[in-house]
Amino acid sequence: MTELNDCEPRKVKVIGPYTFSIGDTRGLSAYTRGGLFKQVKMPVVLNFKSFKSALEEPEYFYSDFSKFDRPAQLHVGFQALHAFAAANNGRMPRPGNDDDATEVIRLANQINDAWSQKTELDDKLLKQLAYQATGDLSPMVAVFGGLVAQEVLKACTGKFSPINNFMYFDALECLPIGFEPKEADLAPVGSRYDGQIAVFGREFQEKLSNYREFLVGSGAIGCEMLKNWAMMGIASGENGVIHVTDMDTIEKSNLNRQFLFRPADVGKLKSDTAAEAVAKMNPDIAGKIATHQDRVGLETEVVYNDEFYESIDGVTNALDNVVARKYMDQRCVFYRKPLLESGTLGTKGNTQVVIPHLTESYSASQDPAEKQIPICTLKNFPHAIEHTIQWARDLFEGLFTQPAESVNA
């Protein structure tokens, strides 16, 4: 099939792991054997509606299929918020104010009645939207910040498909069941946490400020946790404290994802450096973070003993191996402490909230076997034969393979 040499790209159909079809071959000579193929990614031209047209005829990106009816309602609700602000010199509805919420609901129904794609509106949902219009939660900001950053990279590089529709995301399930605070409890107090108080109330903020949390690991996940906690004011009160333990030191390869660290920090302890960084972000938690450099396990139970666990309110895992996760899960079950478990692998991630006497524990379900050995384990605690083998292979590649490839590139 010499006609395929230097031809225009042809669309293929994948048949199996090692086979694919190139379509109609009647105009080609007979295939003999072998051959090399190169994958070509063809550009796709995307056309977007004007903003005016998209508002009238929206398409939605569904992030939660259990809330299939939410995007259309929130599409109307946010237009109602803008209409409210336009009629009130830019002011958004006051937190917990029933009069402002009623006006937002009226505007939403007015917009919906004039819309060609009428939807069924839930007054309770619109009421919560009005109540929280001035809210500002750091974790939610981080979620949308990540999404926006991805879309910017897509636009700059021309790679990957952009979100070609409206995306509405809500997490109303985070509100306590039966949560009906008074307007006075949601009113701003002139602090940096007013955006959070507008959603959860002053009493909740008081609990956060005096919370005592144990963070195990201060790598990629740990940095994000500490940043969010600092912005939320966790442990900023008189009785609050955050314990952080991580035996690892900062390496240059950490800097692309562990954003609390800078080039000048290479070689320093992660726990100490991360604590210093977030204290600069929020001076309220300066002196409220106790740093440790201990590996959690049987050998450190003299440090993290009964007295230690009785002094804390909860545990957050930011670990990179299953063995340590299971150990911390056992300790939390024994001491009846809530556990926030999370992990990442490339672009994938997971979270699990473990509440004593309410949810299953982390160890109740089995994780798949780890295909890769964590770098921290290789560099600090290679305790199995396969760890030492992989350590030697990595050292060999670093000394003999990578330098040669870099020169020949």
| Residue 376 annotated among the catalytic residues of the structure | yes
Distances in Å between the alpha carbon of 216 and those of 18, 190, 220, 222, 341?
43, 33, 12, 8, 10
In angstroms, rounded to a whole number, what is the distance separating the alpha carbons of residues 218 and 91? 40
Q: Output the six-digit token pair for 373.
A: 């050995």
In angstroms, rounded to a whole number, what is the distance separating the alpha carbons of residues 328 and 339? 9
| In contact, 73 and 121? CB cutoff 8 Å | yes
Catalytic hit among 156, 223, 332, 376: 376
In angstroms, rounded to a whole number, what is the distance separating the alpha carbons of residues 338 and 213? 10
Taking each helix axis from N to C end, the angle separating 220-232 and 138-157, rounded to the nearest 10 degrees, works out to: 130
In angstroms, rounded to a whole number, what is the distance separating the alpha carbons of residues 314 and 23? 59
Largest CA distance in the chain: 82
Residues 6+ apart with CB under 8 A from 94: 100, 134, 183, 187
State the pairing for strand pair 20-21/348-354.
unpaired
Residues written for the chain: 409
Residue numbers annotated as active site: 376
